[in-house]
Structure 1
Amino acid sequence: MLNLILHTPGARRFYRVEISDNLFGEYTVLREWGLQGHSGSQCLRWFSNLRDAVTAAETFRRRAQRRGYRLSEAAAGQSGN
């Protein structure tokens, strides 16, 4: 499972992108966004292979960064696991 958490500097907004697999050999990309401390909005997409899921997650991450979100330090620390 890959989990990226982005935030807006100086604001309380977050954007999360998560890739995970399921028991049927499919992959899902979960996007969640909103204000910290509140339940955010979610969107879940299914993919038949990991390559397509990673491509979609990378597209969502780039789009969020163009909108001012930055990778959080907590997420950067988790990437080594």
Structure 2
Amino acid sequence: MEAELTYLTTRAAARRVGRSVRTIRRWRRAGLAWRVHDHLIEIEKEELLRMWRRMTFQNPIVLKKLRARGEKVPDLV
């Protein structure tokens, strides 16, 4: 049995990952999957979290901070 997908509005998605609505819109232009449902743009939660991880761990400042604390840096492809 397949689990039901959870969708978030753009504003809820921004709150979920601690980013601005403008950033979520930029991520949509960069390839984040979305759909229109009842005149609202919705983003699938797991896809949002994948994009958040990808965008966060591509940031050299974040990587530098993780390495400085001795934390393992994830290998994201």
Higher helix proportion: 2
Asked whether the two chains share a fold, i.e. TM above 0.5, the reply is: no
Higher strand proportion: 1
Q: What TM-score, normalized to structure 2?
A: 0.34
Larger Rg: 2
